[in-house]
Each structure stands twice: as structure tokens, then as C-alpha cells.
Structure 1
């Protein structure tokens, strides 16, 4: 009887009511409706939501996309790409600090390099955007599959069917326009700054840059260097970074030496054969570069063997293991190629093309001034401005003379003839007549000619740039220690002698070495003065001790004042009359 009484008491006890969330579901066979999703703000992202699963003991599950930005202001839909760090005019300002003159060439070079790297930035931006979009879709797909597994819905979505898979990744390159590179051809005499402008820009941009001499290039299979050597040098310059190498700049110097030769005995392996090899390289191809590991710049110390005999030299070739050859595949599609050359004799081909016959009815008679015009270092007269391939000045076309008498009286619309030379009239037909195949000429999209340096520009090169020759030799003499001074007449005499040598800016270095040979040998001397007589060889350089600074400055000022008086223009009658009238009026 006792067990029965205990059971009756337990039934009489009042248990506390259970919470509503823990109430047992009805035991009917009908499927209960889905509970409403409980949404709560887990983050500042508006589309992040929490979903209550069917299993009440599993808690909450949420989907979060970190690729979306939490703050969306008025410019959220604007592109954060397109504002470069510099523009071509900014590049030109940097180049002006080191290079004097050649304004037209500097504008063209800066624009070409800027557009090249702007196209690369655009391509990288689009690839990065496509990568983020693909990753976002992958996360959304994984979140969707996880929610479907948690809900355990046996029915598939209407737009899905068994065996259907989304495309892993679309071809992103077909969705946007490709911007092709624009190769550059620089024409001009030696020493005018063709390669120096490119070197200055590469140092400022901090990009892989290399200069290869085309004189040593030969066709594959012959003694010499293959054209792929320039890609290998660029890879070494980029510290074996293939990605950086594919965005570098290759300068092919002495490119005019690759012109095919006429009347040559045997096969032309250094001319047309190299041009044919450059076609694929310039257009874009994959080049395999073989590099030995022990010769690379990454291995600073030689590889030694721990199993060699005692007392052997670890740096000897016998103690080193055989070098392993590493292969790098470089795509030259996005490498910018710049061709440089003096093209001696091309001006004759150009003048032969633009000159008209002087015989026959209705033909213009060639003037004596025009007949004496020859050479790529001469300034183009205004009468030939109409032959410029790109936008000739309208004033020159209107002022074009029709007879020899009007030729001598026509003035140029630009000072000093505008700085144009016969090489500015270069066309693809002229390059083909010079000895280049048309397939290679078509891959040179920009042709820019550099003018020869004038006497004033040579004088400015001595003093104006940051690394000018006067600043270099002054710093050198300070290490002796000595103080070096130049008069303006001395610098002008050095520029005149360099211009007579016709070697461009390189002739300035030669003249400075000649003038400073004795002062460098007689060092150390506290004060050294170089005058015009010292440059011409009539006198020796002036030396002073520590107490001779006042005498040196007096002589320096005297010669500079004499130079100012000689270069000051003489007053004309009109200017003197205006000066007298202004003085009488009290202005």
C-alpha cells in the first residue's frame, strides 16, 4: 500500500509552468509552419541578418560579408580609381631639374610613360575588382549552401536542378577594353639627352629599366647576343621579380645600327635577321630565361659543401656543387620598348623626298639658301614647316615663299626656327628607305626627334641642373680641401669649345677635364679660379692661399662685370629717345 500512496502525492504536487520556448511541440503528424526569422543587428551592414534554424538547441546562424563597406556616403558609388599620383606635367617638372632643353621631347616621353603605367594601373585595378567580386560570390554561395543544409529543405529551388554547378570564374579580360602599349622611337644626334631623359624618369618612378646596345645583337645561332638578352637584363634589374619585369622599360640604344646593309657578302646576321627576331619580342611573347642559381644576385655567398676534404678551399670551384639552372618565363606584352639612335644619313633621305625639282614649267626654283641646307644638326627653315607630319603652324604655311627672293626675307614664326630639324619630318617611308622592315616600323607608334643643343643650352647645362658639372667638380675640390671658382666668361668659353666638338653634352665633360687637369694635380690649394684665359690656354689657373679670398673675389667680380658690359645690348636711337622723353616727363 505504501508505493501507491507515494504515487498519489506526487500527482498532487503542482509543478511550475514551463517556459513557452521549451513547450513540447504537438504530437500531430502535420508539419508545423516555419517560425518567423529573428533579425537582429549584428553589424552595421544592412544586409546582415540572423536566421533561426529548425533545431531549437542549435542557436542562431548569421551570414556576414566583410567585403561590403559599413559607411556609405554620397560618393560611395564613385570609383576610387582614376586619380593618379602624378601627371605628365609633374613628370616633366622633375625631369627639368636634371635635363636642360628638349621640351618637345620631354613632353612626348613623359606622356608615353604616363599612359603606359596608367594603362597598367587600370588593368590591375580591374583584375583586383574582378577578384573581389568572384570572392564575394563564392562567400554568398557557401552561405547559401550552409543555410540550405541547416534548414534541411528536401525541395530544391526552382532555378536549380541536380548536377547544376555555377561557373567557377568568368573570363574577366573579355569584360573590359584592353589598352595597348605605345612604343617610342627617339631620333637625334649623339649627346642630346635621349637616354639620359629615360634614366632620370626611371629613377624617379622606381621602375625596372635597362639599356641594351644593339651593336652586339645577332641572329639566333650565330656568335653574339640574342635579342632575348635584353629581357634577361631587365629580369636581373628587377631582382628576379617576374611581375615587375613584365611592367618594365627596355631601351634599345644604337638602334640605327640594325638597318640592313646593301651589297654585303654573305648573310646579314646583324641587320635584317635581328629585326625579324625583334618582331615577336616587341609585339608580345613569352620568353624563357635560364639563370644559374650561384650567379644570381640573390646568392651573396658562394655555396659550400660540408662533405669536402679537410683543408680544402670552400670557395674553389671543385668544392662547390653543380649550379642549378632556374627558368623564368617573362611575358613581354606589357614591356615598353624605346628605340634610340642617331640615324646618320637619314636627313639626306628626308631632304630628297621633300625637295621639289627645279626644272620644268610651274616648278619652284631652289634658292641658294635652301641648297646649302644639309645635315641633321641644322635648324629647319620656316619654308619647310608645311612638311611636318603633325599639325604644321598655319603662319608658316601662309608665309611660304614662291621665289628665291622671298625666301631670304621670310622670318620664322618661332624663335630660332622653332627648334625643328630635318629628323622631325621623318615618316615610316623614310625609315623603310633607311633599311628597316615595314613590320618593325609599324610597331613604333611614336616618333620623336631631339634637336641639337645650342650654345645657350650648353652653358645652362654647366650650372643649372642639380647634378651639374660645376657642382660636381666643386664638390670634388672640397674633398682636397680646395675652393673652386669659375667666371662666366670661362664657362661660356667651355661651352663654345664643346659645341665645336659636335659631341653634345658629353663634350662639356671633356673640356672640364682638360681645363682642370693642372689644378687637380697641384691640389691642395685653398682657392682656385678658372678664367677665360685659362680655358683658352693663355694663362694658368689662379691660385691663392687662405688670405687671398678678397683678391680672388675682386678679380672674379671684375671679369663678371666686363662680361655684363659686353653682353648688354647697345641702346638704339629709339630707345634713347624714349628714355629722354620719359626723363623729361618725370616718369
Structure 2
């Protein structure tokens, strides 16, 4: 009979003690793994807080860009203090400038939100990597200390080998798509002297945006004598004090834009017309332009330190000090993105009104046809009010078309016939026509604006010192003569210089009075000394009829004149 072997059962704790009897008890691993953070963000409090994290709910879904500091009506109100008339043009220009300003604010807000989002994602990535490093500790580290670094580097090497270039970038569905607002370029059409450039200059002072005006007469195609179209971007960069970000949000005014229309040339190549239009296509649409700016500060300092001597004797001897060439400064390159630069084109477009009349007017041939004038210089054409019904910012009385001209009906096809390529016309989204100045507008320009001509010449005569006065009929005569010149508000300056030429030469005289007869050349401008105050008051009342109008208080008019003369007398005696 075989012996029965009875196995003795060893307790589990004894086996565990025999197996790990040479290894001391360590709690460092347990303490290091203890403060683990769960990856389930729906489990409640996670002991982490991000101050830039966007909330949810109706309170966080509203617009946070902020209320604008001004609106188009505020811009127009500021322009009305300097520019008379042109209400339709001022409303459209103010709206375009305001939308450009709002687009700048919106982009700044989106850039700030994108920066905060990237910072938040970076913080989350750093925290996630730290948690992974604390949780994923290799078991060999406990058996053989120091091997964790080698294993970690091995994993990184494998990840670099397995990394593939992904040419497809999937769309981030967690983010709402950003709406990009394109710019709206502007074209201003009107005769000379109606305030096209002056309105833009006044608006540029109301907003903190770089602004520059460039003349298109000097533009030529690249490679020919003249200036390239990129010169306007360089001037805008100078206006913004070499701030690239501010330059990319500025306004460029292309004055004399009608001078780059296509012309018939002998050699068949129009380098200052169609060639410039082709160069403006990408610049107006949006492209990246590299501007090279030469820094002459070091060169100027060196020239001032060592003066240049020049030998004017004409001798061929090389003895004596020779002029040294100035050192060349370094060249800085700036890359400007023109996608968000607003372009405003201005021009007189002489002859465009005839092209428009040929398109919109009825035929004057045959029985029962209407006879219409083809010119807008002397006789204004009779255009139906229905032709202007589509125009914005019309007066309340739609039947009154006295302030509207044929240029208000400008269409892209008319500009093509004038000599512009359709690609450039399609990049102009607003076409605004300015009406010619009437006699009443010229009279208002003399006195109403904050920087009126009467105020300018009055301040100039105060520096002599002299006190300058105009009668109301004298101002009306100046406006009448300026209207015949057909050069707009610039004719007023010419008339004022003609009338006051002798008074400026004969200065100083205490009182200077310009009457209607002096403006029309029938008599000279009147001069009086310190005791001629009463005589000046009498002549003003007689010519303007302040004392002979029934129902008018002559004493009130006299008191008004006396008070004005007293103020000018005080300014003259103080040496202002």
C-alpha cells in the first residue's frame, strides 16, 4: 500500500512575507498617486478654476464688443460744422467710415477672444500632461530606480516615428463659425471745389485711424518712370508711425482717380492708365505688400558729426579735404496686408455726365419727341424724378430734384465707357455724387463754417492789428462772382484775395470796410482810424438796410455792431 503524502498548507501571509522580506515597505508611490484628478468633468467639483472660461446661458450669449463711441449721425454732425451742404454725400460717407470703424473693433475683439482661447487650451494641455505623468508610472521604476527616463524617451521616439503629416484639417465643431465682414470701398464723383477731399479730411480727425491722401497723377505701371501704386501703402505706414497693425486698419484716399482712365496712345501701351488700374486690382481687393523703408537716422547723425567739404575751384588737384560719401542706413522691411484697408476714390470725372445723359435721356428725333439739353454747364437737363427714386438719403419732397444731377445716376456701365476696366469697377461698392455748389451755398461757406473765410481773414487782419468788416451785400457779390468762375469753393478764396489785396498792402489801418461797390470794382476798400467807428456803423446800416426796414429795431442792430467793434478794438489794442 502506497504511503499517503499530506501537503501542509502554508498561510498566505507567510508566503507574502517570504517573497518580499528583502524589500522595505515604501509609501512614496501611494502618496504620489493619491491626489489623482478624475477625467470625468461631469462628476462635480474638480478643484480647478479657469477665470477666462466662457460661461453658458442667456447672460453669456449677448454681444460683449461694447457700445460704439459714436454713430454715423454723430460723424455727420461734426462734419456739418466745417462743410456746407452735400447732405446725401455726408450721410453715405459717415456710414461707410462708421462701418469700417466697427469692423476694426470687431476684429480686435475676435483676436482677443482667440488669444484667451489659446491660452486656456494651453493651460488645459499642461495640466493634462502633468496628470498623465503622475499617473502613468512604469513598474520598472519601482524595481530599478532611474529607468523611467529611458522608458519615457523611448516612448517619445516611437511617437516621433509614428507621426504623420496630416494635410486635412478637420473643422472644429465645438466653435461657432466666425463671420468675416468684408470692407466696402467708396467712389466720390463731383466737380472741383465741392468738398470731396475736405469731407474726408474732416472725418479723419474724428476717428483714431491712420489716414492718407495720394495723388493718382504720379502713378505709373511697375518698371516705368513714376511712382508705383504701393506708394500709398508706404505713406499710410508713415502716418501710423510704422505700426503695422494700425496700418492694416487705415484709410487710403486716391485723389484724382479719373486721371488713370484708359487713353489712346501711340505705342499701344498705356502705362499711366490701364496699367495702373491693373496694378490696383489686388491692392484694393486685398494682398500682402512688402514695403522697404530706409532708416536714415544713422546716416544723418554721421553727416552732422562730420561736415562735407566741397571744392568749388574746379582744379583737378586731389590735395585737401575730399568729400566723403554719407554712410547708407539699414533697410527695414514691413509686410502689410491690405485686406482690411479702406480705399476711397475721388475724382471730377469731367464729361461723365454726357455719357449718362446719352443713356437715360429719351431720343430727340421724330415726331412727338422731347427736346432735351445735352450739357450740364449752362442749362440743366430736365430729368424725370422717377429716375432718382432708387437713390438713398433723398429729401422728404421726392419731387424736388434741384439738388440732384446726372452724376447721381452713375452706373458701372458708364464708368466702363469712361475708360475703367470692369474688374476695378466691381471692387467699388459705393458710388456717391456730390452736387455743384449754388450761390446760397457759397454765401453760407463765407460765414457759417467754423473755419469760414470771413473768420480766417478777420483773424489775419487782427494780427496787423486791424479790424475787418464786410457788409451783407458785399458777401453776396463775392458769392455771385465765385459762382460764375465754376471752380466751387476755391473761387471764394480767389475773390477774397482780389478784394483785400490793397488793404493787406496798406495795413495797418484801424478799421477796414468792404462794401458791394468795392467788390464790383466801382470804388476802393474804405479805411478809417480810431475815430471812425461811428462812420463804419453808419455805412453798414445804410447798405444792409438795418435802419430802414419796417418793423426792425435799428437800435438793436446798432448795439450789435457796436459790441462787435468793441471786441475787435480790444483785440487790436492787445496786439492779437
Task: Bin the TM-score by the shorter chain.
Answer: 0.7 to 0.9
1:182 corresponds to: 184
Is the 2:308–2:324 Cα contact (8 Å) retained in structure 1?
Answer: no
Does 1:207 pair with 2:205? no
- The alignment partner of 1:512 has SS state of helix
Q: Cα distance 1:349–1:140, how it changes in 2: closer, same or farther (>3 A)?
A: same
Contact 1:304/1:319 (8 A) holds in 2? no
Assess if the C-alpha contact under 8 Å between 2:303 and 2:326 holds in 1: yes
Determine whether 1:483 maps to 2:467: yes
Q: 1:74 to 1:482 in 2, by over 3 A?
A: farther
Counterpart in the other structure of 1:337? 343
Structure 2: where are the runs of 5+ without partners? 1-23, 38-43, 140-155, 311-321, 553-576
CA 1:448–1:264: 2 relative to 1, 3 Å: farther
Contact kept, 8 Å, 1:213 with 1:254, in 2: the verdict is yes
State how far apart, in whole Å, the 2-side matches of 1:114 and 1:153 are: 60
3-state SS of 1:333 partner: helix
CA contact (8 A) 1:477 1:484 kept: yes
Give 1:552's match in structure 2, choosing from 516, 536, 542: 536
**Given that residues 389 and 425 in structure 1 are in contact (C-alpha distance below 8 angstroms), is that contact kept between their aligned partners in structure 2?**
no
Is the counterpart of residue 127 in structure 1 residue 111 in structure 2?
A: yes
In the TM superposition, residue 510 of structure 1 has moved relative to its aligned partner by 0.4
What is the aligned partner in structure 2 of residue 15 from structure 1?
none
TM-score between the two structures when normalised by the length of structure 2: 0.75
In the TM superposition, residue 154 of structure 1 has moved relative to its aligned partner by 6.6
The 1-side partners of 2:256 and 2:528 are apart by 47
* Residue of structure 2 aligned with 1:495, choices 479, 482, 495: 479
1:531 to 512, 515, 524: 515
Residues 69-101 of structure 1: per-residue CA shift (max 9 Å, x gap): 99x999555332142111111100010011000
Quote the offset at 1:286 in angstroms: 1.2
Structure 2: distance between partners of 1:139 and 1:470: 65
Q: Distance in 2 between matches of 1:64 and 1:392?
A: 53
Partner of 1:304: 302
CA gap of 1:247–1:376, structure 2 versus 1, over 3 A, is farther
1:511 maps onto 2:495 in alignment: yes
Report the CA distance between 1:548 and its aligned residue. Answer: 1.8
1:269 is aligned to 271
Partner of 1:141: 125
2:52: which partner in 1? 67
Structural mapping, 1:88-487, within 5 Å = 88-149=72-133, 175-262=177-264, 264-294=266-296, 299=297, 302-304=300-302, 318=324, 320-359=326-365, 365-367=369-371, 371-372=372-373, 374-375=375-376, 381=382, 383-388=383-388, 390-391=390-391, 413-415=398-400, 417-487=401-471
Task: State whether residues 186 and 338 of structure 1, in contact with CA within 8 Å, keep that contact through their aligned partners in structure 2.
Answer: yes
Tell me, in whole angstroms, the C-alpha distance in 1 between the residues paired with 2:462 and 2:49.
67
**TM-fit CA distance, 1:175:** 2.8
Summarize deviations over 1:215-239 as a string: whole Å, max 9, x none. 1211112111111111112112222
- Contact 1:525-1:544 at 8 Å conserved across structures: yes
SS at match of 1:94: helix
Instruction: Could you tell me which runs of 5 or more consecutive residues in structure 1 were left unpaired when the two chains were aligned.
Output: 1-24, 39-46, 51-62, 156-160, 397-411, 569-587
- When residues 358 and 551 of structure 1 are mapped into structure 2, their CA distance, relative to the original with a 3 A threshold, is closer
Aligned positions of 1:15-26 closer than 5 A: none
Do the aligned residues in 2 keep the contact of 1:48 with 1:65 (CA within 8 Å)? no
**Cα drift, residue 135 of structure 1:** 0.7
Question: Cα distance 1:414–1:456, how it changes in 2: closer, same or farther (>3 A)?
Answer: farther
Q: CA deviation at 1:342?
A: 0.9
Equivalent residue of 2:416, what SS? helix
Q: Check the 8 A contact 2:211/2:250 in 1, yes or no.
A: yes
- Root-mean-square deviation (CA, aligned residues, Å) is 4.0
How far apart are residue 206 of structure 1 and its match?
A: 3.2
How do 1:554-573 residues align onto structure 2 when only pairs under 5 Å count? 554-561=538-545
- Classify 1:501/1:142 alpha carbon distance in 2 versus 1 (closer, same or farther; 3 Å): same
